[in-house]
């Protein structure tokens, strides 16, 4: 077997290449954005590995593949962004449909939920919070005119909603049908 070297040393100076011409500092907004989405993708992977339901696992895998397309667009220069566009209104609509389907299977609490009723649910809640952070970073790119595709923000926003209802769904599958609420001595009905 031929040995493959996984490192290039091209980033040792603190700069990274974009999809297009040019290099930017690794702390700049674009690498921060696609790096945060990559972190969210890894957290979703943990949630997928811990999920009980085949439905949950398949939905998460599909979103992980979408996130790779989203990261590609975030890593593109403004000149090349269109050729890397993979997240559009149809992908946002798909997320909304999936969220609505799972929502019909759970009891939505009327109060804030404390994460941690089950391990699969907690994994999903952690992934949700990282997706929300990624959304904030991507909004920054949109507002600064670095990216133009509003669907990237909408996708991340809807993904956080899907992860929330999937956490309730996984909790219910594990026998925790009543969420622990932020207000002490209350449970949802």
- CA end-to-end distance (rounded Å), the chain: 59
Give the total number of structural domains in the chain.
Answer: 1
| 105 CA to centre of own chain | 22
Tally of residues, the chain = 189
Residue 56, token pair as written in the block? 């949950």
pLDDT digit string (tens) for 36-56? 999 999 999 999 999 999 999
Residues contacting residue 163 through CB under 8 Å, at least 6 positions apart: 44, 47, 124, 125, 127, 128, 131
Q: In terms of residue numbers, what domain contains 91?
A: 22-173
Helix (H, G, I), strand (E, B) or coil at 167: helix
Q: What is the CATH number of the domain that holds 42?
A: 1.20.1200.10
In terms of average pLDDT, the best of 3-12, 23-32, 144-153 is 144-153
Is 150 inside any structural domain?
yes
Q: Smallest Cα–Cα separation from 178: which of 133, 111, 126?
A: 111
Q: Is the pLDDT of residue 176 over 90?
A: no
Kindly calculate the radius of gyration of the chain based on its CA atoms and give it in whole angstroms.
Answer: 18
Is 8 inside any structural domain?
no
Is 100 inside any structural domain?
yes
Is 2 inside any structural domain?
no
The pTM for the full model equals 0.92
Is 5 inside any structural domain?
no
pLDDT digit string (tens) for 110-135? 889 899 999 999 999 999 999 999 99
Is 12 inside any structural domain?
no
Is 9 inside any structural domain?
no
| 127 CA to centre of own chain | 7
Is 17 inside any structural domain?
no
What's the rounded Cα separation, in Å, for the pair 76 and 164? 30
């Amino acid at each position: 077997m031929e040995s493959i070297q996984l490192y290039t040393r091209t980033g040792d100076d603190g700069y990274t290449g974009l999809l297009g011409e040019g290099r930017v500092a690794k702390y700049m907004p674009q690498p921060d954005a696609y790096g945060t989405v990559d972190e969210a993708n890894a957290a979703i992977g943990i949630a997928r590995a811990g999920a009980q339901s085949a439905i949950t696992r398949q939905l998460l895998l599909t979103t992980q593949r979408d996130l790779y397309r989203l990261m590609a667009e975030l890593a593109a220069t403004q000149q090349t962004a269109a050729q890397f566009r993979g997240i559009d209104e149809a992908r946002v609509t798909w997320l909304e449909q999936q969220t609505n389907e799972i929502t019909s299977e759970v009891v939505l609490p009327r109060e804030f939920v404390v994460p941690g009723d089950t391990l699969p649910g907690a994994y999903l809640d952690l992934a949700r919070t990282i997706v929300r952070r990624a959304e904030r970073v991507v909004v920054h790119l949109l507002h600064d005119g670095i990216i133009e595709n509003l669907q990237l923000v909408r996708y991340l926003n809807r993904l956080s909603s899907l992860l929330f209802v999937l956490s309730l769904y996984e909790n219910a599958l594990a026998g925790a049908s009543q969420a622990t609420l932020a207000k002490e001595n209350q449970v949802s009905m």
